[in-house]
Amino acid sequence: MSGIQIKSLTKTYKSDAVLDDISLEVPEGKTLALFGPSGAGKTVLLRCIAGAVEPEAGQIILNGMDVSGLPPEERNLGMAFQNFALFPHMSAEENIASPLKARKSTRDQISTAVRRVTELLKIDHVLGHAPKELSNGQKQRTALARALIAEPDILLLDDPLRNVDAKLRFEMRLELPRLLSGRGATVIYVTQDYKEAMALGDTIAVLDGGHITQIGSPEDVYLRPANTAIASLFGDPVINLLDVVPERDESGIFVMLSDQKVHLNSGYDAAVGREAIIGLRPESLRFANEGIPVEIEAETPFNEKIVTLTQTKRGREIIVSRPAGTDAPSTGTACIAVEGTSAVLFDRKNGERIVPASDEKEQAA
């Protein structure tokens, strides 16, 4: 079996488990976006795969071969570092050519390959420059070119867009999928930016505190986050999380928000009476003539959307996001209409998502 398989990988520093029993699989040619807050262990996991860090336990299988114990140079993969890690005493060209030099390619092969990859990445005009003469964007592309040039089957990208400016990050986010899919490489892409994870990943793995807390499609992670932490990490503005206790009457299952009934998906039968947290995406809320009465605290216009911070009678804060250009009150009191069926429900004790009965069926099928 090709691709990347990781089985029960564990790595500890001193006595802290940085990676605790990690297992995951990336099918050949697919991109896994490894997402998590800083300090979650993303970089350590990537280094374990690359062979720069030796794990205590577990197996790493690349293209069907167990590489545990193999030195980095024999794992035959490409990696781009968050800090670029260019060789400072070599020109951009020598940097990019170094994987081919190690593979004993001829001079002609090297210059052809360098030309092809640098034209693709639009850095062919700075090949003679030393790394210190390059802009951050050029450094990042040089590092990427170095990772791509030997056309490795396995590509590890450690937050390569972290240290570049916003404009270039946006451009690269559009370009990268084309670059990656064109080569058929199996990719692990580490990022702290949920948008990057959703744009680039066929699958998203969320790593938090050394554990993988969720693996799923971008849609899955966004709409059905496994716990409140993941729900808060995905989405901008951040999801509204409000303490509630679901109840039931003849009209169905509902929660009370500011003395207003908000009806939920009928599958939440099991949640009735439990202390829970309801998650409401700011973009699923809208201002209306009736609904939950709120006081408007502040309004922040972004280019494409307007984010309003409001407060309910009991002092709970709710964020509402709406597309720019839509009309809404910007001061005073207003009402918010809540679409209860799109809400997600979490257990208040452990923050885990309460899976509605209808979803369970869906997942079983």
Partner 1 sequence: MHHYSPLERVLRGVALTAIVIFFMFPIFWIVLMSLQTNETILRSPPSMVFEPTFSNYAAIIAGRLDSNVASMGIEFMNNLMNSIILSVGSVTVALILGVPAAYAFARHKFRGSEDIAFTLLSFRFAPPLLVLLPLTMYFQQIGLADTYLGLIWVYQLICLPLILWIVRGYFEDIPQDIEHAYRIAGHSWFATFRKIALPLAGPGIAAAALLAFIFAWNNFIFALVLASADKQPVTVGALAFVTASGIQYGQIAAAVVLSITPTLALALYAQRYLVEGLSLGAVKG
- Closest distance to partner 1 from the beta carbon of 96 (Å): 10
- Closest distance to partner 1 from the beta carbon of 53 (Å): 9
Q: Does 109 bind partner 1 (CB under 8 A)?
A: no
Q: Between residue 111 and residue 170, which ones bind partner 1 under the rule CB under 8 A?
A: 130-132, 136, 139, 146, 150, 163
Query: What is the rounded distance in angstroms from the CA atom of residue 72 to the CA atom of residue 25?
Result: 20
Query: What is the rounded distance in angstroms from the CA atom of residue 128 to the CA atom of residue 192?
Result: 33
- Closest distance to partner 1 from the beta carbon of 162 (Å): 9
Binder of partner 1 out of 38, 69, 71, 303 (CB under 8 A): 71
Which residue, 14 or 314, is less far from partner 1 as judged by CB?
A: 14
Q: Between residue 3 and residue 62, which ones bind partner 1 under the rule CB under 8 A?
A: 47, 50-52
Closest CA to 283 of 227, 238, 313, 244: 238
Interface segment toward partner 1; rule CB under 8 A; list 98-106, 171-179, 236-244, 249-257? 98-106
Q: How many residues bind partner 1 (CB under 8 A)?
A: 32
Which residue, 50 or 262, is less far from partner 1 as judged by CB?
A: 50
The tokens describing 69, both together, are 């114990």
Query: What is the rounded distance in angstroms from the CA atom of residue 118 to the CA atom of residue 129?
Result: 13
Looking at residue 271, the DSSP 8-state letter turns out to be: G
Binder of partner 1 out of 103, 115, 125, 313 (CB under 8 A): 103
Query: What is the rounded distance in angstroms from the CA atom of residue 221 to the CA atom of residue 298?
Result: 29
Amino acid at 221: V
Tracing tokens 């979803």 back to the chain, one arrives at: 359
Could you tell me if 188 and 157 are in contact, meaning their C-beta atoms sit under 8 angstroms apart?
A: yes
Query: What is the rounded distance in angstroms from the CA atom of residue 67 to the CA atom of residue 327?
Result: 58
Which residues bind to partner 1, rule: CB under 8 A? Answer: 47, 50-52, 71-73, 75-79, 81, 83-89, 98-99, 102-103, 130-132, 136, 139, 146, 150, 163
